[in-house]
Amino acid sequence: MSATPDTAAAPSTATRFAFADFVLDTANRTLVHDGAPVALNARYFDALVLLVREHGQLVGKQRFFDEVWARSVVTDAALTQCIKEIRRQLGDDAGNPRFIRTVAGHGYVFIAPVQSDVAAVATALATPAAVTPATPSTPVMRGGDARPALARVLIDGAAATAGGAAAGVIGGLLYGSALAVAPQSQALGTLSVLMVLMALSVAVGMAGAMGVGLGMAGGRLLGRGAGWVLAGGAAGGLVVGGLVRLLGSDTLTLLVGRAPTGITGGLEGAAIGFALALGVLLGGGLDRAHGWRPAWGAALSTGIAGALITLSGGSLMASSLARVASTFDDTRLDMAPLGALLGEPQLGLASQAALGLLEGGIFGGCVAAALLWARRQGPAIRRRAS
């Protein structure tokens, strides 16, 4: 079988290229990601330049050898290692590529959309934060058009809300199933207890997740560093948690004349939001090809945060329900079965910490997984919406 010939199309004469949230400046030999330089050695940088200049076209192996290693004798293994390192720096995945596709036995194709308008990209280099597309696989839009960035914020907010709803369903099933078997709850009806707790859990999960998701996306929109994302997640959780506490307390006061103290609120929301954002970042972030590690990282960090919140005197869902039950003597809500499942006669501090770990882990994992899914499905979502 003969090798597929390289394209004969004239190479681009541009010196600056933008793809996803990267800017490649061939004149100054720099690669920038979200305003931060990306380290590539000279050979690998030249290989990336060749791929980007010929984006959409097959670049054969021999062309790499002739143009990148012009005066050196190298093997296919050197080229394979070169492409592997470029993919690593771009956050690409050979099995599900966003940037470089392998044509087995022939070469490689740079498949991401590339913008090579010199003036537009030069402006982006002066303000790196502007190089933020709606998703990593869509063309960069500039010239003051904020629609892609706003679309990304809205998609993240919707995805996080869906993840919070999923976490609420799981939590509602767990708590509702445990509490529905209590004698006091059976007087109300097993199904009724299950449905009420699930509805409450879903509502709180959706509200909290929407706040954290929008906060993280807004933080990324406002600044380039991880600190902005962390601050955004904490701020979103703080605002929604404060609103949940305010509305819950006001509703109970209006209906029965009093409300329990210490139910979950802004500080707990801020801690969970910060922990979720931290776990996502430690897992590699939402824009890089790290599998589901950001979701696992978020589950772990928010689980730990949930346990620490309850141990320090704060409240999540289980602790808040316990405070409601202790405030109203005639309530049909009996939290003892949850404590019994964990080896305590009542819902003590150890049980609350264990449930906080569980609640936080479910919430963080579901929300981060939904955000990852939305980022990877972003182009298809926008096409269906348009």
**One-letter amino acid of 159:** A
Domain positions in the chain are 16-130, 147-385
Q: Where are the beta strands (DSSP E) in the chain?
A: 16-19, 22-25, 30-33, 36-37, 58-60, 100-103, 107-110
Q: Which two tokens stand for residue 170?
A: 């799981």
| Separation CA 202–CA 29 (nearest Å) | 51
Q: What is the pLDDT along the chain (386 residues), one digit of tens a residue?
A: 344 444 444 445 668 899 888 889 888 898 988 778 888 888 999 999 999 999 999 999 999 988 998 877 778 888 999 999 999 889 888 888 999 999 988 999 999 999 885 444 444 444 443 333 333 333 333 334 455 667 778 888 899 999 999 998 888 787 776 665 555 544 445 566 567 767 878 888 898 889 998 988 888 777 657 888 899 899 998 988 888 777 766 665 665 556 666 677 788 889 999 999 999 888 877 765 557 888 999 999 999 998 998 888 888 877 777 776 666 665 556 666 666 667 777 777 788 888 889 989 999 999 999 998 887 775 455 445 44
CA–CA distance, 118 with 109 (Å, rounded to integer): 22
The predicted pLDDT at position 268 comes to 87
Dist. CA 386–CA 378, nearest whole Å: 12
pLDDT of residue 135: 37
DSSP letter for each residue of 251-319: HHHHHHS---SS-S-HHHHHHHHHHHHHHHHHTT-SSS--TTHHHHHHHHHHHHHHHHHHHTT---HHH
- Measured between alpha carbons, how far is 215 from 209 in angstroms, rounded to an integer? 10
Sign of CA dihedral 315, 317, 320, 321: negative
Burial environment of residue 93 by CB neighbours within 10 A (0 to 12, 13 to 18, 19 or more): middle
DSSP 132-171: --SSTTS----TT--HHHHHHHHHHHHHHHHHHHHHHHHH
Pull the structure tokens for residue 196. Answer: 């009420």
Which DSSP symbol is given to 69?
S
Q: Would you state the pLDDT for residue 366? A: 94
CA distance 32 to 122: 12
Nearest to 228 by CA among 288, 279, 274: 274
Dist CA 169 CA 192 (whole Å): 15
CATH numeric code, 16-130: 1.10.10.10
Angstrom distances, CA of residue 162 to CA of 167, 209, 272:
9, 8, 17
